[in-house]
Structure formats: C-alpha cells, structure tokens
Structure 1
Amino acid sequence: MSHSTTSADPSSHLSLFPTLPAVIPPTTRLNFLKNWWQRSVMSASHAEGRLLQRIVPNTDISLTQPSLYPLVGRSVAIPVGNGSHVNTFTLSPLTNSAKLPITDSAPTPVVWDHTSTWEQGDKDAVLERGENSKNLVMCHGYGAGLGFFYKNFYALGQVSGWNLYAIDWLGMGRSSRPKWTITKKSNQTWDDIVEETESHFVQSLEEWRKSVGLEKMTLMGHSLGGYFATCYSLKYPERVEKLILVSPAGIAQSPKGLISQEPSDKSPQELLENEAKELGATMQAEAAESAGQQLPPTTTPPARRIPGWARYMWDHNITPMSIVRMIGPFGASLVNTYTSRRFAHLSTEEQHDIYDYIYQITSSTGSGEYALASILAPGAYARKPLFHRLAKLEMPTVFIYGEQDWMDYKAAEEARKKMKVDTKVIRISEGGHHMYIDNPQEFNAAMVDEMKN
C-alpha cells in the first residue's frame, strides 16, 4: 500500500492536497483538441482531485472552534468482485493527533491521504472509524460522479460521530467500466430487463458495503442514484438506517397522453417519415381548431408522442456520453457549453474545474450509462415506477428537491401518503436539480439536520 501526503502551507488551502497539473482551460479550439488528445485514467484522476481540493470553504475559518474537527480525506479503489472496483472518497475525523499538521498553532482542517491500493480486510486503509460512529454514503446521479458533492463534503464531515463515504457507481465516474451486457432479447419483457439492471447496481453496492465493512448506513442518492438507492433499501432494509432521496428519478408514473413505443427495427429515415406524418396531422388539427372549425366527429387530436428520432436514439442506447465520445474534440466544446450555462453562477475557475471533470468521466469508456434506457422509457419516465414500491420501505425516508428542480416533487408528496414510515419532503430555495451546488448552504443544513435526528 502506498500513501502520499503533502505538507501544509499556511498561505493556501489547496496545498493541503497533492499538487495537480492545471486544468486545460476551455477557451480555444486548440485547448479542446489538447484535452481530447490527452484523455487518460490519470487525467480523470486529476480532474476529480481539483474538485476535491475545493472541499475547504473559501472563507475565513477559525480552526480553534470546538465544533471544527480536523478531517482526513482518502481516495480509495474498493474491490467489488470480478476484477472490478468502486471509486470511493472517504472523510472522517482524524483520530491520531500525532498525524495532525500544525499551522499557526492550529490544526489544518483537512489532511489528504491518497491511497492507491487497498487490501481486503484492511479497514484502516479506508477510515479510522470510532466504535459508535455512524456512516453516510453518498451516491451520485446519471452522468455525474462523486466529485459533484465537493461543496458538501466539508460541512457534512463536521457532524460529530459520523464518517462520510461518496462512491462512483460501478461503470460510472472513475469506477471500473465493465462491458455492458444487459440488452433486451425478443423473449424478455421490460420488467425482466428492469429487474436485471436494478440487481446489477444493487449487488455492486452490497459488495462494496461488505468490502468496506459497514453494518448500517444512512444512504443518500441523487437522481438516478436515488432510484438505485431505493432499490437497495428495498432489498437490504437491515443495512439502511435512513434513506435520503435527492431529486430522485423514476418515482412518477408516465402521464396519460404520452406515447412511447417498444424498440423499433425501422431505420431512422422510416421513423422520421412516420414522425412527419404524425406532426402533419397534429398541425392540421391545431390549425382547424384555431380557425374555429369543427373537427369531424371521428377525428380526435393525436396524443402527444415522443419524436421518432428521439425514440430511435433511446431504443438504440445512444447516450449523451456516446455522442460526446463520437464527435471527438468537439465533445469537449459541447460539455463546456453545458457547464458554462448550467453553472454560470460559479466562478470561472470553478466552472473550468467542473467542465474538465465532467468531460473526463463522460469521455471514458461507455458502461453504466447504458442502464438509462433499461430503467427509463422514452420521455424519462420509469418503466417500473418507484411510486408503487415506496410504501414497502422500512426506514425513515427524506425527499429533497430544489425549488427550480425539473424533477417534480409532487410525485413524492403523493407517494408519501401511502408510506408507512416517517417521511419528509424538503425543498431547497434557489436550487435546481443540482441544488447541492446551487445552494450548498441550505442543502448542507438540511442534510446535517437529518444526520443529527
């Protein structure tokens, strides 16, 4: 096992972490080309590291406050069988005072210890856990990774008696990327595929839990990660003390009038021609209605349909990540367009770090991303909605949404009426789907409250 630590420099929080190469800024076409050309396992590690460097808040902190604990952060690859590993970031109180760096007679807030290898049973390589400590496990959503929680780690790590874990789902982020083999065969139903896909992620999380040696945890999942966290909690209720679902996917049922079709063998041209006919019929009906004409008794406005091109891409598992990979250096530009708009409220340097992180994990080999079409039908509604399964949960459950979230919190409100456990629905002001980045102060406060109660 190898460790590398960097001595503290009083002048900079970033010096608490290993020195990393600067991000290639998304400012020129040449830089997009460089970023695409230089992609590697190491560049993805560096991109994650830059976000983790931002754990310590950029505010003046009195390190002598009794409530402020020195923390040790570790990045570890946890084996989950078949030669695969789950990328894991851990944060816990530093229990060995002899390891405490001193800066101006006060402990540094975070000590970084990057563990490159890990041996089965070596629990100390993961965390220095107290006898009665509790565990928070954080799971990211689709197209994301554990680095997305960089604004939350420090505040949550300060809760006394808790250890924090954040993971990349198997096949996503910087975890192993095994070949995706779950595809619908002619003799299978979508229920079969959903069950197989859910089992894939649930069992990898259970293998991770066994490797780390956790008996119980508070499990937090965002978006698609919330979907899989719910599935895990239903199968292993004895392992989950509390379930926190952050803007979870897959709860609401598909609304009436939204029509999606089974995977089609038609060519894109045939699908687009059919879509044009449907669109023409819809426009004709709408034009007649706006002109005040009475439609014939046998004519009804066509139900809203998923565009043919969208159905084709969805059914053939063409993901946003595969498009980024397909268009080479232009993929980096596409990611930058998204990040610069979605995270415009962040500083330029922070936007660049998020852009590089998303690009590095997005452009990696496709694997877990292909689960999306198995779990969700075209239109992003679950093939097997959680709405009907939430009533079977056996642990207190908390739903957290942003007030500007595109995910509808009302589905959780309705599901709550049928649940037999203590259930809350919390909304974060000035927050969208990634409210933990949009308004980390309010999100962190809500999380801390749930950890303490």
Structure 2
Amino acid sequence: MLSKSYSFVNSAFRSLLESVNDLKTALLVRRRITAGNSAMPSSTSLRPSPPTAIPLREIIVKLPRLFPRSAFKSLRDFEDFKRNPNSLQHELLSTLPFFPRPNKEKVANIVRTPVDNEGNYINEFCIEPRSRIPGVSMKHLILIHGYGAGLGFYLKSLERINFSKNDWCIHAIDLPGYGFSSRPRFPFEIGKHSAETAENWFHDRFNQWLRNRGLLEAPESNMVVAHSMGAYLSALYANRHPNHFKRLIMCSPAGICESSAAMRKKIPPWWFQRLWDKNISPFSLVRKSGYLGSKLTSGWSYRRFKRFMYDDDHGRTQHEAMHRYTYSIFNQRGSGEYLLSFALKCGGEPRKALEKRLFHNISDQFKASCQWLWLYGDQDWMDRSGGERVSDFLQEMGLKSAVEIVPSAGHHLYLDNYQVFNKILEREMADF
C-alpha cells in the first residue's frame, strides 16, 4: 500500500468534480440500482514506485480510468459502511470456504482482544484445525500487514495455506489503529515526540495481545510473517523482546536501508512533502469525500486486486469484496497510519535506516535472537541489497538468516504471486 498511497492525491480533487453529476443521478435512482461488475483498468504493473506525485499531463490523460468505480456503487458502499462497517470485513472473510461455517479441516473466528485499560483491542482472524492431535502442542503463525492495510490483504494465504499437520494455528491481526482494531487518537506529533515513543505505542499493545492470547507461554512456537511497515515494527519489537518468537519472515520490509543516490535525487514537490509531514494522506481524502470515497479508493484497489478477477470461479466475488473491504478500512478514523511520517521521510526514505540503527553490534545494541528470512519480489521497489547486507550481518552474529526472491512479484508479493509465497510459508512451517 505504501508504494502507491500518494499516487492519486493530486488527481482526486479533479475526479471529485467529474463525479458530482453522476452522484446526483445516483441519489435519485439509488433504489433501482443492483450490484454488477465494474469495468477494470486495461493494465497493471507489478513494480510500483516509491510514494510520489503524478505529473499533471499524466493525470489529464489517465483521468477517465483513474477511479473506475461507478458513483452508483460508491453510494451503495457508503451506505453499507454507515450502516455497519464490520459487515464489509465479514463479507470478505465469508469468501473463505471455512468461514463463518467450518469445513472438514478448518474452523475460523474473528477475535477482539483487549490490549489496554481504555477499551482498545486488536482485531484478529484466527484459523485453527478442526481436529487437533492429542498431546501435540500448537504452533502459531502470526500474519502482520503493512501501512494502510489490514488482515484481509492476506486473503489468499488465509484461503490456501495447508496445514500439513494439525498442529498450526494462524493469527492474522490488524495492527493497533489499523483495519478493524480500535482506532484511538494517535497521541504523537513529528517534532514533539521521538520515533521510539511512537513505535513503543505499537509494541506495548502488540505485547499485550501476545500475552492475553497466551502466545508468550511457549514463545518458541511463534513464527511472525510481517510486510512492509509491519516488518519494520516487527524487527524493532524482536530487538526489544528477543525471545518472543522463534522466526521472523520480513516481507519487502520498509525502512531497512537508505535509498540509492538516483532515488534520492527524485525530490517530491514541496506541497507533497508538506502533506506528508502533516499526516494528510489519501485516507483523509477518502474520509472527507462522503459518497465518493469508494470511487476514490478504486483508483488503487481495482489495479491492486485485478488478478483476483481471473483466479478461479469466485475471483470476481473476491475482487468486489476486497475493494469494499479496502474502502471500509480507508474510511475509518485515522490512527495507526500516522506512524508513517515518524519512520519515513516524504518519498519513502527512512528517517533512520534500521541497517544503521538496529543491525549493528555497537555497545550491544543488537539483541534479537530469532531466525530471519527476507523476502522480496523480483520487481520490488524496496532495495533488496539492504536486506542482503543485514542478512550477512545476522549470519556473522551466529543467527540463521537468508534472503529469497519471489518471482513475478512486486512490493505486495503475497498478492502478486501468492502461490509461491504460500509455498514458502508452508515450507517454513514444515521446517519449524
């Protein structure tokens, strides 16, 4: 999500103007509209670029295709969200063959676990084997999403990962302030608070979730899979709590190393930098767009989930559900997303790369003891050389670490090539 999150900021206002007349018509004939299939963009790219702004000329040329969701459907999505936002998460997860009713192999539930004394909680989708082997301890696969995303983005892993033995439980979670976890006010500001203070806000709540779910009773049974910003936070957590999980799989992690000199020369416009530091994001625009929020969301979601359309018999159903789910998490109160400007500068450059901040042994700064696996798409915009250098460092420290490239995949490798991604996870589970 990070790589494209700002790509439609400077085009959205023009799209809003274009959609006003459509919206008026939608309001008049709403009751006569039934859901159907929307036209899809003609092409997609696996290699997204770091956050930037679209040139005005490109906006003008692409404007008709930038936001393909019809105003009619956008209005329906808005009304469904207002009525019950949780229904859009349930709708997506209901495309899985074992939810809400279990099948012969798996049973799944949505779990909300309190993480503080203020009523805040972490939202989780938990999958367990229908039949457990007596006397065998369970192992735990914890899936953590990236910036702006939610647990539903792991849909194809939730759907297709096989339990080779009935000794694994899958926990897909929404980070604090993301997805359908509670969204308290994010109490930190750039210039007033340190990045460490903001990071600890996440770590403390994640720690409490692990504790309340009983996952610290046998931490050697925990394997964490984390993407992008979630991987950034997980690496820092592993250093703060060295023994809380056995293996950490870093999927196209953010903030590992400084960008190349060529990338640093691509300076975003001043207004773009201003929006970044003020935490004004496309999500803010979606929230303030009322009936048109879903239409704006389609500028990203239709391209990102396009391959779902052609996967299998229920691909179109999942594509539609993924769009509506994405809109539902974009449209909720801003909270955890505001960590972004603490971790990264405008354009995606780390404020302090973890390669220098964490992965060195000055004064025993590095304390993590888990095993590591670094995954990148072969068309990833994240610089894999940073992961390779860090992996070498980890091996020098006596830890198990490796780098692996997922073919035909970009930053969202778990979506672009979920077949290979899932095989890697199944291999790691079998070898755990």
Normalised by the length of structure 1, the TM-score is 0.71
Alignment of 1:406-425 (within 5 A): 406-419=381-394, 420=397, 421-425=399-403
Q: Answer yes or no: is 1:351 the counterpart of 2:319.
A: yes
Q: What's the counterpart of residue 206 of structure 1?
A: 207
Q: Take 1:417 and 1:85, find their aligned partners in 2: how far apart are those partners? A: 37
Amino-acid identity (%): 30
Report if the CA contact (8 A) 1:336-1:355 is conserved. Answer: yes
Please list every run of 5 or more consecutive structure 1 residues that lacks an aligned counterpart in the other structure: 1-21, 58-67, 97-127, 260-302
Q: Which moved more, 1:163-172 or 1:431-440?
A: 431-440
Q: Take 1:234 and 1:319, find their aligned partners in 2: how far apart are those partners? A: 30
Q: Take 2:238 and 2:134, find their aligned partners in 1: how far apart are those partners? A: 23
Q: CA deviation at 1:319?
A: 1.5
Q: Take 1:159 and 1:55, find their aligned partners in 2: how far apart are those partners? A: 19
Q: CA deviation at 1:25?
A: 6.4
**Other structure's SS at 1:163 match:** strand
Q: Answer yes or no: is 1:234 the counterpart of 2:239.
A: yes
**Deviation readout 1:61-97 (Å, 9 max, x if unpaired):** xxxxxxx97111111111001210100111111238x
Q: CA deviation at 1:168?
A: 0.3
Q: Answer yes or no: is 1:194 the counterpart of 2:195.
A: yes
Q: Take 2:419 and 2:109, find their aligned partners in 1: how far apart are those partners? A: 24
Q: Answer yes or no: is 1:90 the counterpart of 2:126.
A: yes
Q: CA deviation at 1:254?
A: 4.2
Amino acid in the other structure paired with 1:178: P
**Other structure's SS at 1:151 match:** helix
Q: Take 1:24 and 1:324, find their aligned partners in 2: how far apart are those partners? A: 23
Amino acid in the other structure paired with 2:385: K
Report if the CA contact (8 A) 2:190-2:341 is conserved. Answer: no
Q: Take 1:337 and 1:306, find their aligned partners in 2: how far apart are those partners? A: 20
Alignment of 1:312-351 (within 5 A): 312-347=274-309, 348-351=316-319
Report if the CA contact (8 A) 2:267-2:347 is conserved. Answer: no
- Could you say what the CA RMSD is over the residues aligned between the two structures, in angstroms? 2.5
Q: Answer yes or no: is 1:436 the counterpart of 2:414.
A: yes
Alignment of 1:162-201 (within 5 A): 162-185=168-191, 188=192, 193-201=194-202
Q: CA deviation at 1:255?
A: 4.1
Report if the CA contact (8 A) 2:81-2:328 is conserved. Answer: yes
Report if the CA contact (8 A) 1:335-1:358 is conserved. Answer: yes
Q: Take 2:134 and 2:268, find their aligned partners in 1: how far apart are those partners? A: 50
Q: Check 1:411–1:129 CA distance in 2 against 1; reply closer, same or farther (3 A cut).
A: farther
Q: Take 1:435 and 1:32, find their aligned partners in 2: how far apart are those partners? A: 28
Q: What's the counterpart of residue 119 of structure 1?
A: none
Q: What's the counterpart of residue 90 of structure 2?
A: 49
Please list every run of 5 or more consecutive structure 2 residues that lacks an aligned counterpart in the other structure: 1-33, 39-68, 310-315, 361-365
Amino acid in the other structure paired with 1:361: I
Q: Take 2:186 and 2:336, find their aligned partners in 1: how far apart are those partners? A: 7
Report if the CA contact (8 A) 2:70-2:295 is conserved. Answer: no
Q: Answer yes or no: is 1:402 the counterpart of 2:380.
A: no
Alignment of 1:23-422 (within 5 A): 28-40=70-82, 42-43=84-85, 45-56=86-97, 70-81=105-116, 82-95=118-131, 131-156=136-161, 158-160=163-165, 161-185=167-191, 188=192, 193-215=194-216, 216=219, 217-256=222-261, 304-347=266-309, 348-388=316-356, 389-391=358-360, 392=366, 393-419=368-394, 420=397, 421-422=399-400
Amino acid in the other structure paired with 1:363: N
Higher relative contact order (CA 8 A, sep 6+): 2
Q: Take 2:304 and 2:223, find their aligned partners in 1: how far apart are those partners? A: 29
**Other structure's SS at 1:38 match:** helix
Q: CA deviation at 1:343?
A: 2.3
Q: CA deviation at 1:131?
A: 4.8
Q: Check 1:69–1:30 CA distance in 2 against 1; reply closer, same or farther (3 A cut).
A: closer
Report if the CA contact (8 A) 2:81-2:88 is conserved. Answer: no
**Other structure's SS at 1:365 match:** coil
**Other structure's SS at 1:169 match:** coil
Q: Take 2:229 and 2:251, find their aligned partners in 1: how far apart are those partners? A: 10
Q: Check 1:383–1:69 CA distance in 2 against 1; reply closer, same or farther (3 A cut).
A: farther
Amino acid in the other structure paired with 1:173: G
- Structure with bigger helix share is 2
Report if the CA contact (8 A) 1:75-1:88 is conserved. Answer: yes
Q: How many residues align?
A: 343
Q: What's the counterpart of residue 28 of structure 2?
A: none
Amino acid in the other structure paired with 1:37: E
**Other structure's SS at 2:81 match:** coil
Q: Take 2:214 and 2:83, find their aligned partners in 1: how far apart are those partners? A: 27
Q: CA deviation at 1:446?
A: 0.5
Q: CA deviation at 1:50?
A: 2.7
Report if the CA contact (8 A) 2:112-2:124 is conserved. Answer: yes
Q: Check 1:69–1:430 CA distance in 2 against 1; reply closer, same or farther (3 A cut).
A: farther
**Other structure's SS at 1:141 match:** coil
Amino acid in the other structure paired with 2:302: S
Q: CA deviation at 1:342?
A: 2.2
Report if the CA contact (8 A) 1:157-1:163 is conserved. Answer: no
Q: CA deviation at 1:182?
A: 0.4
